[in-house]
A and B are shown apart, each in its own frame.
Chain A
Amino acid sequence: MDDFIPATESEKEYMVQMRPSTTFFKDGVKRLSKNKVASISFFVIIFITLAAIFVPMFWPYGYEQMLGTTPGRPADSSFNNLHPMEYSSTELQLMEQGEKVFPHLFGTDSQGRDYFIRVVYGTRISLAVGFFASIIVLVIGIVVGSISGYAGGVVDIILMRIVDIIYSLPDMLMVILLASVLRQTLDAALVGTPLEKIGSNIISLFIVFALLYWVSMARLIRGQILSLREQEYVLAAQTAGAKGSWIVKKHLIPNCISVIVISTALQIPSAIFTESYLSFLGLGVNAPMPSLGSLASDALNGLSSYPYRLVIPAIVISLIVLSLNLFGDGLRDAFDPKLNG
């Protein structure tokens, strides 16, 4: 007769199963970590970034340091054009005397500068340009896109026609024209400001990015916001008396954050590529500051004797762009399953 007895408190508790609350973000990270290609790409990016930040701190050679040139002494040309792991005659003498000399992993260039540290510095510049340019694009894109999408009407029409006009310009031509014009005007304007050190070229690159590449981001965000603002929770916020800026900030942007993150991740490699391309054409960073593109461009002069000087920066660019693209794809798969296809 013991078949029907009331459940004890502990048994009742067992029936109430409370799954730990997972957020959208945690779910996405879980999916992302299961994607092998994206995880490997992520570690490659992290490794390259950390190397670009920390290696120059302890490397004994500077990126602009001409090793054969010491003030007050005649130039020592034995440092120029060393092959990878080769030592100059001066260094060999020092080593015979029992002193330790740090090897030149990638050799030196025609002016006796350590090539490895130049590649690391070039990577640093390229990553920085890619990252900051994407942030500029992101900020302008979000502001224009959300105003256009939420306000609608005449505002939307005007902003979108501006976007169409910029979109229809041949962008490489515009980039080259703007970069060369801006460099000249900026050169004069920057004298004496703290920005002078960064160089007018990088600043003009940022401006070019800001002027040209926000359009696709703005379009994307406008489209997202157009569809999200018809949701009833937006109406609910309006019923509560929320203003437009509140609704955009609290509801619309958080709900398209995955799209924003993904397209920013995919924007970085394209910015890096454009920077390299411009530097290769001589419109990029100011000498002696290296970037991956300008290193490749300089290497063209001695291509038959020193092919590795072109190959190394080319491999680094490819590695960065490829792993960022693969990681961006992984992000998209993990955070926005709808975009798949």
Chain B
Amino acid sequence: MSDSTTMDQAKQPIISVKHLKQYFDINDGFFKSRPLKAVDDISFDINEGETLGLVGESGCGKTTAGRSLLHLYKPTAGEIYYRGKLIKTKADIAEFRKKATMVFQDPYSSLDPRMTVADIIGEPLDVHHMYSSKEERREKILTLMEHVGLNSEHAARYAHEFSGGQRQRVGIARSLAVDPDFIVCDEPVSALDVSIQAQVINMFDELQNKMNLTYLFIAHDLLVVRHISDRIAVMYLGHMVELGKAEDVYSRPLHPYTRALISAVPVPDPKVAKANKRIALTGEIPSPLDAPSGCPFRTRCKYATEQCAAEVPEFKEVETGRFCACHRLAEITD
């Protein structure tokens, strides 16, 4: 393979999201309904082999973004490209399902209580008829279980016989079953104990190296995201407000919301923690049913001006590989 083709492949993002919108109709009265703008016009790329961390507070649309990215909801508007190919028809989606999977947040409700572990892990194989004999199926399932650190004796057991960490491993094995390139991890560790979180996160890392996976890692724990991500995207009220390299976003947050978010991360050194000034936000996150005009963050932003109320700030590249959506970025950056 020549250098130029390798370059091209590295350049082409594995997933490309363009102006994705996901609205849900909320019934207001008998015939009235108004849209809940869970995700409102977000665009980003995910490069092959990287982990993109997606952070934001509860209800900001992280999970919805992850799900509509996988076409689990029908996007209201916008396009999703997989390796440069637009995913649109049913056949595209069916093909996409073999390449992109998901790990769920809740290791309890995401495993069917009436199925054995082997059947849960084997379900994607069954759906796509990815084996020719029962032995091959069993073989594949046992290999997957080994990858995630489960014993072969566990295969015939039911999910309720396992701990949270083991259940999440089952969920991960299931997402790996079709040999995907891309996995959406929807807060996969937030339901686990801290010690188990570390194990599972390290496993995500190992699997990424071993199987050349690309992750969209959704979380609200900023330290977890910092540990695992190459790049970080920050969402607020359905909008993406900042995107950049993980270290850059942490050390030099640009958007006022990101600044507040980063300053809220607990530091395990009391001296440093005292020296850091915590930026306290006032007020609550507005309801996505009744979002403010212009910049979504303006109601809680101390830099807000009239322009912020009038126009939605553009999500633009402010430095190489660094995106931010703020009208007053130039004035507030020192």
A residues sitting closer than 8 Å to B (CB atoms) are 18-19, 21, 23-24, 231-233, 235-242, 246, 250-251, 254-255, 257
B residues sitting closer than 8 Å to A (CB atoms) are 67, 70, 72, 94, 97-98, 101-102, 104-106, 109-115, 123-124, 127-128, 153, 156-158, 161, 171, 174-175, 177-178
Chain B residues, Cβ within 8 Å of A257: 114
B127 and A235 within 8 A (CB) = no
Chain B residue with the shortest CB-CB distance to A230? B109
Instruction: Return B21 CB to nearest CB of chain A, in Å.
Output: 21
A254 and B114 within 8 A (CB) = yes
B127 and A241 within 8 A (CB) = yes
Listed A/B pairs (23) with beta-carbon separation below 8 Å: A18-B153, A19-B161, A21-B158, A232-B104, A232-B105, A232-B106, A232-B109, A233-B109, A233-B111, A235-B110, A236-B102, A239-B70, A239-B175, A240-B123, A240-B127, A240-B174, A241-B98, A242-B123, A246-B127, A251-B112, A254-B114, A255-B112, A255-B114
Instruction: Return A109 CB to nearest CB of chain B, in Å.
Output: 52
Chain A residues, Cβ within 8 Å of B161: 19, 21
Chain B residue with the shortest CB-CB distance to A238? B72
Task: Identify which of A232, A236, A242, A246 gathers the most chain B CB atoms within 10 Å of its CB.
Answer: A236
Chain A residue with the shortest CB-CB distance to B94? A241
With A and B bound together, what is the CA distance between A120 and B195 in angstroms? 68
Contact of B128 (CB < 8 Å), options: A21, A241, A250: A241
Instruction: Return B89 CB to nearest CB of chain A, in Å.
Output: 14
With A and B bound together, what is the CA distance between A250 and B113 in angstroms? 12
Instruction: Return B101 CB to nearest CB of chain A, in Å.
Output: 6
Take A235-B104, A236-B104, A239-B102 as given contacts and tell me if A21 and B113 are in contact as well, using a CB distance cutoff of 8 Å: no
Contact of B72 (CB < 8 Å), options: A18, A21, A235, A251: A235
Contact of A233 (CB < 8 Å), options: B110, B124, B127, B158: B110
A-B complex: 3 closest residue pairs judged by Cβ atoms = A241-B97, A232-B110, A240-B124
Chain B residues, Cβ within 8 Å of A254: 112, 114-115
With A and B bound together, what is the CA distance between A305 and B106 in angstroms? 72
Chain A residue with the shortest CB-CB distance to B160? A24
Chain B residue with the shortest CB-CB distance to A251? B112
A23 and B110 within 8 A (CB) = no
Chain A residues, Cβ within 8 Å of B105: 232
Known A-B contacts: A235-B67, A240-B101, A240-B123. Give 20 more (CB < 8 A). A21-B157, A21-B158, A23-B158, A231-B109, A232-B104, A233-B110, A233-B111, A233-B112, A235-B72, A236-B111, A239-B70, A240-B124, A240-B127, A241-B97, A241-B127, A241-B128, A242-B123, A254-B114, A254-B115, A255-B112
Chain A residues, Cβ within 8 Å of B171: 236
Chain A residues, Cβ within 8 Å of B111: 233, 236
Instruction: Return A228 CB to nearest CB of chain B, in Å.
Output: 10
Contact of A237 (CB < 8 Å), options: B113, B123, B175: B123
Task: Identify which of B109, B112, B115 gathers the most chain A CB atoms within 10 Å of its CB.
Answer: B112
Chain B residues, Cβ within 8 Å of A23: 158
Chain A residue with the shortest CB-CB distance to B100? A239
With A and B bound together, what is the CA distance between A24 and B104 in angstroms? 24
Instruction: Return B304 CB to nearest CB of chain A, in Å.
Output: 38
A21 and B123 within 8 A (CB) = no
Chain B residue with the shortest CB-CB distance to A18? B153
Instruction: Return A28 CB to nearest CB of chain B, in Å.
Output: 12
Instruction: Return B93 CB to nearest CB of chain A, in Å.
Output: 8
With A and B bound together, what is the CA distance between A214 and B113 in angstroms? 28
Instruction: Return B206 CB to nearest CB of chain A, in Å.
Output: 22
Chain A residue with the shortest CB-CB distance to B178? A240
Chain A residues, Cβ within 8 Å of B156: 21
With A and B bound together, what is the CA distance between A21 and B155 in angstroms? 11
A239 and B123 within 8 A (CB) = no
Chain A residue with the shortest CB-CB distance to B175? A239
